[in-house]
A = this chain, B = another copy of it.
Amino acid sequence: MLRTHTCGELRLADVNKQVTLAGWVQRQRDKGSVLWIDLRDRYGITQLIFEEGKTDAALFSVARGAGREYVLQVEGTVVERLSKNDKIATGEVEVKVSKLTILNTAKLPPFTIEDETDGGDDLRMKYRYLDLRRNPVREKLQLRHKMAQQTRAYLDGQEFIEVETPVLIKSTPEGARDFVVPSRIHHGEFYALPQSPQTFKQLLMVSGFDRYYQIVKCFRDEDLRADRQPEFTQIDCEMAFITQEDILNTFEGLVRHLFKNVKGIELPSVPRMFYDDAMKLYGSDKPDTRFDMKFVEITELTKGKNFPVFESAELVVGINAKGCSEYTRKQIDELTEYVKRPQVGAKGLVYLQYRTDGTLKSSVDKFYTPEELKAWAVKFNAQPGDLILLLAGESYTTRKQLNELRLLMGEKLGLRDKSKFSALWVIDFPLLEWNEETKRYHAMHHPFTSPKIEDLHLLDTDPGKVRANAYDMVINGTEVGGGSIRIHDRPTQQLMFNHLGFTEEEAKKQFGFLMDAFEFGAPPHGGIAFGFDRLCSIFGGVDSIRDFIAFPKNNAGKDVMIDSPSPISDEQLKELALTVKK
């Protein structure tokens, strides 16, 4: 090795040792007769000292010429520092350098390699290899590494077998758009990159592998939007001979193991909530349960008083923002503006202030008596100091809108602390959801999800009401994982494809191999997949997933560092028998 120690290693106990370090020049402080260099590597920073009269003059001069980000190898003696720095682990010592080799020079970086940099997003993406030198970015990838190792440690301990499934598979029409890979040997034919290893992991269950996992790259050629990547990573798992209960317990175990071993947090056992309740109480299938502020419905209490908005509403529903009764007119106007934004889409906001002096003030005072408003407050279990915020309209839409408002109020009240964690299982998702665009039902999870047997009779009459053996894990209002108990017999799978609008022929062409497999002794099975990039970002307390990916693509799906995608040669196109239409 070109070093005896790392730059994060030396302590007082090492004083007088001869050491060799290697790393990058973080900064220089030049006091004329004394020169200090902070030498940085992945493990930390160690201060080097060069003193006029004590350090060889030629060496001193070379050291002074070593600019930011130069790569140095130094030999020297560990000495105790006069003025210690308790902010870094090596802050009690410095190295008196007796030999210095410049391993490489460096041009001035296009942005500062500091925790807070002056580089904009585009520049940092182009020079990603420099951005990765910054502590906050490097630490995110180190966290990811730890998450991956701990995930494997837990699953290995539970007798899961890691199996690699293929990346060059077959394009299927269901789900998002596939990336495809033209075959050079079979012209006109294409492989597809997997959106998930779903069918393969099910086949492994048919094979008897019984407990499978893989931390695996998946691909979706979706229209890009902020913080979505064309390639992403899943913790992909499947188990056989289990019930839903076993899956929930096993993967609650995984998440608690990760919190304990990566963050040192003892997560309490993960509560479960029916999808219907989540929608009713939070207007979301991924409620942020770091805070309460559940929905309260007061539709009945508002009827017959000639307030047209409530009179015509299918649902009047609200939240209690505790401690906000003294919001100013301006503050409440801002909330109204917020819910009226196109992204939220409400027509307006009704408020009821339960003032600290015990009086009630509402935007609908002229329609309701103080007694009637008091009854609302009671229903909300409100206290003086509370602010009730109400939306009205069609049930589903109104709940969705109120969810946005609830999240905003949670934010304002500081209830969405990124260092706090609240996990939740949402269970009993609907099997199907109506798609207005295609005018047919789509699988809410995927076509391999089993319906609840007791709901099967609704499949023809009221398909939207059929519940699935499907579950999501939600942490802090973000879906981090989802799965289901799968169909494991051919007739049910065929029935499912029928209801999703597949002809029998299409189903056979696309998924015949899976249905065939179900006829050769398929065990009951189910599984889950966690979005690994997202899970890491939540553990890191950061909204964006981008910095948890070493070399991410930008919002146009481009890697601007390597300039990809890019044109290929005519020869390549010819070999693939392809022409590009301009």
Contact = CB atoms under 8 A, between A and B. Distances in A.
Interface of A: 1-3, 22-24, 40-42, 69-71, 73, 103-107, 109, 127-130, 132-133, 138, 141-142, 144-145, 148-149, 152, 156, 161-171, 173, 177-193, 199-200, 203-204, 206-210, 217, 219, 221, 224, 230-231, 233, 241-243, 246, 488-489, 513, 516-524, 549-551, 553, 556-559, 561-569, 572, 575-582
23 contacts: A69-B521, A70-B521, A71-B521, A106-B520, A106-B521, A107-B520, A127-B520, A133-B208, A145-B163, A148-B162, A149-B162, A164-B550, A168-B179, A168-B230, A169-B559, A177-B184, A180-B576, A183-B565, A185-B224, A185-B557, A186-B557, A190-B568, A578-B581
Contacts of A191: 179, 564-565
Given A138-B209, A168-B219, A177-B575, 16 more contacts: A24-B521, A127-B520, A129-B517, A130-B207, A152-B152, A165-B550, A165-B551, A168-B559, A169-B564, A173-B569, A178-B572, A180-B182, A180-B568, A199-B562, A578-B581, A579-B579
Contact of A179 (B181, B209, B518): B181
Given A106-B520, A129-B207, A577-B581, A562 B163 contact: no
Given A167-B217, A171-B566, A217-B164, A557 B104 contact: no
Contacts of A177: 184, 572, 575
A448 to B, nearest CB: 15
A318 to B, nearest CB: 42
Contacts of A166: 231, 550-551, 553, 559
A569 B565 CA distance: 23
B550 A189 contact: no
B71 A522 contact: yes
A170 B206 CA distance: 37
Given A164-B550, A166-B231, A169-B564, A580 B207 contact: no
Contact of A207 (B138, B189, B242): B138
Contact of A521 (B105, B149, B190, B581): B105
A576 to B, nearest CB: 7
Nearest to A216: B217
A189 B566 contact: yes
B241 A209 contact: no
Contacts of A141: 161, 163, 209
Contacts of A149: 152, 156, 162
